[in-house]
Chains A and B, each alone.
Chain A
Amino acid sequence: MKRVKCQLPTVRIILTVLLFLCFSMDTSLLKAQDSTATAPVEKKKLYTKNTFNGNLLIDNQSVMVPIKGTFEFYIQHRFGVISNGFTDFFGIYSGANMRLSASYVPIKNLQIGFGSTNDRMQVDGNIKYALLRQTKDWKMPVSVTFYGNAAMDTRAKNSSLPIVTTSDRFSYFSQLIVASKVCDYFSIQVAPSISYYNNVPAYTDDKGLIQPTLKNQHVALSVAGKLKLSEGMSLLLNYDQPLTQHPMNNPHPNLSAALDMNTSGHDFQITFGNYGYLLQQDNNILNQNDFTQSQYCIGFNISRLWNF
């Protein structure tokens, strides 16, 4: 008797997938056909609230995506380094990086935003999507959110800028944010990220070859926590570790803290940390402020939110 052999790899793959689907199928579908089975009492899924108080977590994004219909406007400032002391009043009068931005949640779990910063006159579009939400019964112990942005340097082209084509103006940032509200007083967040610059600084070596000082791609890891001090006030702590090694000018890690105060319509953070830029990719790749040299910057994040 001749055995029928499944020779085509495609057919094998399809069969494997079908078998997997059969075994992994929700058993409730099978139960539905059993008239003797008692209908299970459906328990309402309760999600953990206020893992963090707002969208911003010092220089990073928090895991939070506001409820549908929330419109939020942000003003962010990062002043100069404090190491000059009274000369520029701890950096406050030495000039500041500023960012004005807004975000809106058009559908549940999805936020879209737009911002602009005075640093290189960059504008950015961003997107944030809540993939998973922590439940109160801890059946789902973490919340997971994706955040991504694309930024464009909008300065006018001139010979001193390394901008040749339009694509040279763009940089990107993607981050997977995993967070858990451990108890009412403490939340923790871990967020690996990838930053990408289409164009990086370069120099011409002795042989006349162009050598980049930085790689285009940079991987980093952020760890942050919230400690609730009172109902309206929390202490935020954050550490960013660069993971990619660059040919030159390796970015320094970032150590930061903030006092977070929030009300029904506002979230206010007074920040203190090494990062001086306001776009995540700039901070991750370009940060040269070193905490061992006490190169910290004072700053603040203010947000006002409305619900439509």
Chain B
Amino acid sequence: MKRRILQIGAVLTVALVCASFTLLQTKPWVVPEKAAKTSNAVKTSAASVSEGKALWSQHCSSCHGKTGLGDGSKAAQLKTTPPDFTKASFQSQSDGSLFYKVSEGRDDMPNFKKKLPEADDIWNLVNFMRTLKK
């Protein structure tokens, strides 16, 4: 009987671990096609990147980290691990997709359409995010 309880316990533990890994996997963030195809309204320039950097430091770096590695001081408290912005998997997204995600937010990621009501500000942020690529 004792052996049977141990066996059931082991199976349940394995199942729980597997389930937690599944939950930890990042769920896909679908961006509407129209939003994804929207072209960047602010041309990349030193001024735009500088403004984007200032906004990044104020609004984003506490979770996403100073260099976009997802290692900000608040990152450990989040339910969703912030992705690494330096990787090609992140940088392959269109400017429009990044704009949409910043603007609309999801789960832990707050929406910034009220805090940054001017579209140019979010485009400046997108331009700065491009500089994080390694």
Contact = CB atoms under 8 A, between A and B. Distances in A.
Contact of B57 (A67, A231, A307): A231
A295 interface: no
A263 B62 contact: yes
A263 to B, nearest CB: 6
Contacts of A263: 58-59, 62
A306 B83 CA distance: 25
Contacts, number: 30
Interface in B21-79: 50-51, 53-54, 56-62
Given A69-B114, A264-B115, A307-B115, A231 B53 contact: yes
A67 B62 contact: no
A244 interface: no
A308 interface: yes
A106 interface: no
B47 to A, nearest CB: 9
Given A263-B62, A264-B62, A308 B54 contact: no
A91 B56 CA distance: 38
A264 B114 contact: no
Contacts of B114: 69, 307-308
Chief secondary structure at chain A's binding surface:
loop
Nearest to A184: B50
Contacts of B53: 231
Interface residues of A, number: 15
Interface in B68-107: none
A69 B50 CA distance: 26
Chief secondary structure at chain B's binding surface:
helix
Interface residues of B, number: 15
B58 A67 contact: no
Contacts of B54: 50, 231
B117 A67 contact: yes
B70 to A, nearest CB: 17
A264 B60 CA distance: 8
Query: By CB atoms of chain B within 10 A, which of A50, A231, A262 has the most?
Result: A231
A230 B117 CA distance: 24
A64 to B, nearest CB: 14
B120 to A, nearest CB: 8
A232 B117 contact: no
A131 B51 CA distance: 24
A46 B121 CA distance: 11
Contacts of B51: 49
Interface of A: 46, 49-50, 67-69, 184, 230-232, 262-264, 307-308
Given A68-B117, A262-B58, A307-B115, 11 more contacts: A49-B51, A67-B115, A231-B61, A232-B57, A232-B58, A232-B61, A263-B59, A263-B62, A264-B58, A264-B59, A307-B114
Closest 9 CB pairs of A and B: A231-B57, A307-B114, A264-B59, A307-B115, A232-B57, A264-B58, A231-B54, A263-B62, A67-B117
